[in-house]
A and B are shown apart, each in its own frame.
Chain A
Amino acid sequence: MAPMKLEIITAERVVYSDEVDVVVAPGVEGELGILPHHAPLMTVLLPGEITIRKGGEQTYLAVSGGFLEMMANTVTILADAAERSDEIDEVRVQEAMKRAQERVAMRSSDMDLERAVNSIRRSQARLKVVQRRRSRPSPPPGQTQP
């Protein structure tokens, strides 16, 4: 199938820009798989995991919410933040998650609670992506991990 163009852009940089075959993104109404020549679509994204398939290869990214537009065979994702799996610092994510969980446990105010819950969701998304990386087969001997 003819590939489509995918661009993932945050306010700080262009995270991903390539021709791809399939994009799976966390829409508000559940996971959303997009193939080339999908009808024009506009949706809000939740914190979660974006899966990109290009040829036989799969790439995973963590996204902290944003918007997705499908238009003229181009998928544009405007993300609040997005990281490739190898950019995520697992220790930091776990710390952030622990802090957020503590705040939820304390239940100080509604505003705080909402932010803490969102923070937990973002952390979960990042952790999921990191774990994907780990579960992948280790590189053949002789090759060093970057």
Chain B
Amino acid sequence: MANIRIIKRRIRSVQNTAKVTSAMEMIAASKMRRSQQRLLAGRPYSDTMLELMGHLAAQIGDNGDDVHPLLRRREVKRIEVIHITPDRGLCGGLNSNLNRFTGQFLLDHDVLASVIPVGRKGRDFMVRSSRDVRAVFVDQGDRPTLLDTLPIAHLAIEDYESGYADEVYVSYGRFVSTVVQRPTMQKLLPVEPVQMESNMMSGYIYEPNSMQVLGSILPRFVEMQIYHAILESIGSEQSARMVAMRNATDSANDMIQSLTLLMNKMRQESITTELLDIVGGAAALEG
């Protein structure tokens, strides 16, 4: 009898867990819709800008002193990685995938490296693995504006211009679909040129001049790329959490079912034994 009570208690506890996870699933689903919408709407801008910068970098080349500081290539002594992760857990393997991905990237590069974690989970990982943490940004929320993310971009630009870091990367979970989030590493600075056919290499006309155009477009480029990476990361987080919570709810329900079955079996068994006892007792009396 005691066993049945224990199982009953267990079922109730699993039921409560299922309630929590299914509530979290619903919250994540609604947040996911919103963040997905935002990030998909922003993708054309971000992709076009990346392409445009590639054209620019390809035409300008990468040496000489008259090149804009943000395009100038240097010998790489120190890299800086902006590591974007969620603030919170309970989103399946997303956090550990992201951390492992960036960790591996850092191990593969045999130069000095600084990290700028954006999000608590990335910060904790970088601190734990005693990386050189340059700055930490947490609590970006679920719907940050461009303004919220500007300090990150400005720090990266400053570090690159001052020569503190010779390459700047950004690492984030790219939202592929609701069930797939791909850890992605993107080189931010110096801007990577794209391969172009030679007939397109004729050179731009700049208005008013290349320095001024680049001077206004390059910082904007960095700002927008980081902003967009954060949007991608939020979309990934919410969809990963939704899927993880749905799985958790499903497992909880499976568990409830098998526990209920077990409990019923035990109850029946005990009833059978009781009946046998009674029947046996009655037979003994009659005899």
Contact = CB atoms under 8 A, between A and B. Distances in A.
Contacts of A44: 207-208, 212-213, 216-217
B42 A11 contact: yes
B64 interface: no
A32 B208 CA distance: 12
B150 to A, nearest CB: 13
Nearest to B59: A40
Interface string A112-146: 00000000000000000000000000000000000
A107 B52 CA distance: 38
B200 A40 contact: yes
A78 interface: yes
The A interface is mostly helix, strand or loop, or mixed, namely strand
Contact of A41 (B49, B204, B224): B204
Interface string B202-218: 11111110001100110
Contact of A78 (B41, B52, B55, B146): B52
A42 B206 contact: yes
B56 interface: yes
A42 B205 contact: yes
A27 B205 CA distance: 13
A133 to B, nearest CB: 25
A78 B48 contact: yes
Contact of A42 (B49, B56, B146): B56
Contacts of B213: 42-44, 67
24 contacts: A7-B48, A10-B45, A11-B45, A11-B146, A12-B42, A28-B208, A28-B212, A29-B207, A39-B202, A39-B205, A40-B200, A41-B205, A41-B206, A42-B56, A42-B206, A42-B207, A43-B207, A43-B213, A44-B207, A67-B213, A67-B217, A69-B55, A71-B52, A78-B48
Interface of B: 41-42, 44-46, 48-49, 52, 55-56, 146, 200, 202-208, 212-213, 216-217, 220, 224, 227
Given A71-B52, A76-B52, 20 more contacts: A7-B44, A11-B224, A12-B42, A12-B45, A29-B208, A39-B202, A40-B205, A41-B205, A42-B204, A42-B205, A42-B206, A42-B217, A43-B206, A44-B217, A67-B52, A67-B220, A71-B200, A76-B48, A78-B49, A78-B52
